Amino acid sequence: MGRPGVRKLSVLAVSVAVVSVGATAPPTVAAPPTAAVPPTAEAPAAPAKGPAPKSPVAVGHGGAVASVDADASAAGIEVLKRGGNAVDAAVATAAALGVTEPYSAGIGGGGYFVYYDAKSRDVHTLDGRETAPLSAGSDLFLENGRPVPFAEAVTSGLSVGTPGTPLTWRSALDKWGSKRLGSLLRPAERLARDGFTVDSTFRDQTAANETRFRHFPDTADLFLPGGRLPVVGSTFKNPDLARTYAALARDGVGTLYRGDLAEDIVDTVNEPPVDAASGWNARPGDLTAKDLRSYRVRSQAPTKTSYRGLDVYAMAPSSSGGTTVGEALNILERTDLSRASDVQYLHRFIEASRIAFADRGRWVGDPAFEDVPTEELLSQRYADSRGCLIKDDAVLTSPLAPGDPRKPVPCGAGGTAAPTTYEGESTTHLTTADRWGNVVSYTLTIEQTGGSGITVPGRGFLLNNELTDFSFAPANPAVHDPNLPGPGKRPRSSMAPTIVLDRHDKPVVALGSPGGATIITTVLQTLTGLLDRGLPLVDAIAAPRASQRNAAQTELEPGLYGGEARPALEAIGHSFRANPEIGAATGVQRLGDGTWVAAAETVRRGGGAAMVVRPVR
pLDDT digit string, tens, across residues 429-464? 999 999 999 999 999 999 999 999 999 999 999 999
The span from the CA of 555 to the CA of 577, in Å, is: 5
**Helix, strand, or coil (residue 581):** coil
pLDDT digit string, tens, across residues 502-516? 999 999 999 999 999
pLDDT at 42 over 50: no
pLDDT band at 477 (very low <50, low <70, confident <90, very high): confident
pLDDT band at 39 (very low <50, low <70, confident <90, very high): very low
pLDDT band at 76 (very low <50, low <70, confident <90, very high): very high
pLDDT at 2 over 90: no
Output 571 or 50, whichever has higher pLDDT: 571
pLDDT band at 413 (very low <50, low <70, confident <90, very high): low
In 3D, which of 304, 302, 92, 48 has the Cα closest to residue 185? 92
Q: Do 249 and 182 form a contact (C-beta atoms < 8 A)?
A: yes
Contacts of 146 (CB under 8 A, 6+ apart): none
In this prediction, residue 43 carries a pLDDT of: 45
pLDDT digit string, tens, across residues 326-339? 999 999 999 999 99
| Angstrom distances, CA of residue 56 to CA of 66, 307, 548, 611 | 8, 27, 26, 8
What are the b/e assignments for 143-177, b being 16+ CB within 10 Å?
Answer: eeeebbebebbbbbbbbbbbbbbbbbbbbbbeebb
Q: What one-character-per-residue DSSP string does 327-371 give?
A: HHHHHHTTS-TTTS-HHHHHHHHHHHHHHHHHHHHHH-S-TTTS-
The span from the CA of 382 to the CA of 397, in Å, is: 20
What is the average pLDDT across 514-520? 95
521-345-605 Cα angle (round to 5): 40
In this prediction, residue 414 carries a pLDDT of: 67
pLDDT at 415 over 80: no
pLDDT digit string, tens, across residues 151-164? 999 999 999 999 99
- Name the burial class of residue 200, with classes exposed (0-12), middle (13-18) and buried (19+) by CB atoms within 10 angstroms of its CB: exposed
What are the b/e assignments for 443-453, b being 16+ CB within 10 Å?
Answer: bbbbbbbbbbb
User: Is 522 one of the annotated active-site residues of the chain?
Assistant: no
**Helix then strand then coil, % of the chain, to nearest 5:** 35, 20, 50
Backbone angles phi, psi at 443, to 5 degrees: -115, 130
Cβ–Cβ contacts within 10 Å for residue 245, how many?
28
pLDDT digit string, tens, across residues 202-242? 999 999 999 999 999 999 999 999 999 999 999 999 999 99
What are the b/e assignments for 94-109, b being 16+ CB within 10 Å?
Answer: bbbbbbbbbbbbbbbb
The span from the CA of 149 to the CA of 353, in Å, is: 29
What is the average pLDDT across 174-184? 98
In 3D, which of 98, 115, 94 has the Cα closest to residue 106? 98
What is the average pLDDT across 277-291? 96
The span from the CA of 443 to the CA of 38, in Å, is: 33
pLDDT digit string, tens, across residues 579-600? 999 999 999 999 989 899 999 9
pLDDT band at 51 (very low <50, low <70, confident <90, very high): low
Contacts of 233 (CB under 8 A, 6+ apart): 45, 48, 197, 198
DSSP category for residue 131: B
**What integer best gives the mean pLDDT of the chain?**
91
Q: Do 458 and 239 form a contact (C-beta atoms < 8 A)?
A: no
Q: CA 284 from chain center: how many Å?
A: 26
* Amino acid occupying residue 202: F
Each domain of the chain, given as residue ranges in start order, spans: 1-27+50-149+301-448+468-617
pLDDT band at 416 (very low <50, low <70, confident <90, very high): confident
Backbone angles phi, psi at 103, to 5 degrees: -90, -5
In this prediction, residue 10 carries a pLDDT of: 35
CATH number given to 1-27+50-149+301-448+468-617? 3.60.20.40
Q: Exactly one of 427, 498, 521, 586 is catalytic; which is it?
A: 427
In this prediction, residue 412 carries a pLDDT of: 72
Q: Do 541 and 583 form a contact (C-beta atoms < 8 A)?
A: no
